[in-house]
Amino acid sequence: MTNELKNEQAAVQAVPHTPGPTERDVAAFLKNVRGMSCNCNLDSWQPEASTGHSWVCRIHKAATNPSAALLAEMSEAKATGAAA
């Protein structure tokens, strides 16, 4: 292995990994900050542990597949103190 490759690998390993928001964090943001309304049908479906919403709910669907724009909005809100 060349020194250049070793240096590159060391640099990659030195960068700490910051995990992104959880699905529950995204669901809370959608409900509390964006004002998205929940349409869970709790008579027929149980809430999922990952989001706290049933899989038929619009919040659950958006939280389990967040867009890059939504994640950027959440990051900006967190940086400015406007996050839920």
* 12 within domain boundaries: no
Count the domains in the chain.
1
* 27 within domain boundaries: yes
Residue with tokens 């995204």: 26
* 7 within domain boundaries: no
* CA 80 vs CA 75, 77, 83: distances in Å: 9, 5, 8
* 74 within domain boundaries: yes
Low-confidence ranges of the chain (pLDDT < 50): none
Residue 5's pLDDT is what? 57
Host domain of residue 37: 18-80
DSSP states of 31-49 as a string?
HHTS-PPP---TTT-PPPT
Residue 19's pLDDT is what? 80
- Residue 2 CB partners (closer than 8 Å, separation 6+): none
pTM: 0.73
* 10 within domain boundaries: no
Residue 11's pLDDT is what? 57
Residue 21 CA to residue 27 CA, distance in Å, equals 10
